[in-house]
């Protein structure tokens, strides 16, 4: 891919970012997994080359259970991306995670089904740990940036990822709440995990929009209208936070991501050769 069609930082987010950028240009990316949700938009932010890709499509026409997550993540990596920022709307499962606040999650729980959620389909069996997929340094920088913008930030949190497009029942919300998990979303899995599989550093910023299914006494059950209203009120905040976070990233991004840990994931590691080509290295 030519130098004009390269990026080092990726953002999965909507087209609202583009209005703040002067040199935005579209690029279409083919992947072995089919088309991504939309064209990627490349732009320069504080001298950094950034790729933006709307996970639901630019007109929000792709529901969460129909997103081609593998194509989206592969497109980012093929553009040269090393660090990925994944802002998303999320519901609250705990009283202290109030609507309007942000959470920088450090763990996820997968409650989805049937999603294509790995690049490692064989013939070489590969087992990738998901113990810590969110990059600690990216998380630290995100927390610092959010707080500098005067936004309430929760610096730890587990995001429960449900299949969608429906919201949770009250019984499900109570189950998740009683387990002690903090926020709920429909897209973080397998998006963030797939970034991890390709060796990219990834950070999540959850924008808390509601109390999920009225799980707390006195709270109304969530509706799509409610989510959009709060999300719109936070849209300018998250744009500024993401763009500022990009400015704060170090010039050398090689320390982000999971390439080193991926070296020890092959099921035939006993027979590995220095000449073997690893999947996460193909796009370098």
- CB proximity list for 283: less than 8 A, separation 6 or greater: 74, 77, 78, 80, 198
- The answer to whether position 242 is within a domain reads yes
pLDDT at 244 over 90: yes
| Cα–Cα nearest to 7, from 30, 22, 31, 26 | 26
- The answer to whether position 65 is within a domain reads yes
- The answer to whether position 249 is within a domain reads yes
pLDDT at 257 over 90: no
- The answer to whether position 9 is within a domain reads yes
State the pLDDT at residue 273. Answer: 83
Contact at 8 Å (CB) between 88 and 204?
Answer: yes
Feature table: binding site:
15, 55-56, 186-187, 210-212
Q: What whole-number distance in Å separates Cα of residue 242 and Cα of residue 142?
A: 8
Give the 3-state secondary structure of residue 263: coil
CATH code for position 163: 3.40.50.1580
Feature table: binding site for phosphate:
15, 55-56, 187
- The answer to whether position 273 is within a domain reads no
Active-site residues, by number, are 210, 212
- The answer to whether position 146 is within a domain reads yes
From 24-38, 128-142, 263-277, the region with the lowest mean pLDDT: 263-277
Number of neighbours of residue 281 by Cβ within 10 angstroms: 12
- The answer to whether position 243 is within a domain reads yes
**Domains: count for the chain:** 1
State the pLDDT at residue 224. Answer: 59
What is the length of the chain?
Answer: 284
Feature table: binding site for substrate:
186, 210-212
State the pLDDT at residue 28. Answer: 95
- The answer to whether position 272 is within a domain reads no
* 212-228 pLDDT tens trace: 866 664 566 556 566 66
* 193-211 pLDDT tens trace: 999 999 999 999 999 988 8
Domain that holds residue 158: 3-267+278-282
| Cα–Cα nearest to 182, from 194, 169, 173 | 173
């Amino acid at each position: 891919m030519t130098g004009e069609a390269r990026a080092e930082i990726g953002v999965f987010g909507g087209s609202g970012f583009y209005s703040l950028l002067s040199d935005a240009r579209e690029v279409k990316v083919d992947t072995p997994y089919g088309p991504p949700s939309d064209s990627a938009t490349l732009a320069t932010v504080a001298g950094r080359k950034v790729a933006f890709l709307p996970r639901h499509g630019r007109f929000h026409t792709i529901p969460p259970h129909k997103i081609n997550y593998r194509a989206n993540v592969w497109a980012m990596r093929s553009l040269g991306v090393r660090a990925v920022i994944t802002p998303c709307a999320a519901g609250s499962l705990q009283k202290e995670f109030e609507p309007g606040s942000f959470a920088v999650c450090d763990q996820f729980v997968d409650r989805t089904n049937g999603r294509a959620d790995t690049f490692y389909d064989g013939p070489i069996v590969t087992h990738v740990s998901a113990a810590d997929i969110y990059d600690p340094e990216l998380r630290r920088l995100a927390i610092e940036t959010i707080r500098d913008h005067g936004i309430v930030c929760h610096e730890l949190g587990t995001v429960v990822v449900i299949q969608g497009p429906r919201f949770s029942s009250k019984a499900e919300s109570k189950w998740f709440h009683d387990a002690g998990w903090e926020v709920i979303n429909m897209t973080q899995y397998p998006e963030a995990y797939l970034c991890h599989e390709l060796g990219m550093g990834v950070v999540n910023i959850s924008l808390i929009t509601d109390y999920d299914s009225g799980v707390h006494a006195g709270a109304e059950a969530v509706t799509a209208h409610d989510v959009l209203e709060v999300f719109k009120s936070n849209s300018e905040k998250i744009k500024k936070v993401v763009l500022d976070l990009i400015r704060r990233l170090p010039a050398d991004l090689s320390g982000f991501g999971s390439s080193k840990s991926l070296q020890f994931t092959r099921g035939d590691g006993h027979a590995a050769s220095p000449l073997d080509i690893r999947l996460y290295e193909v796009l370098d």
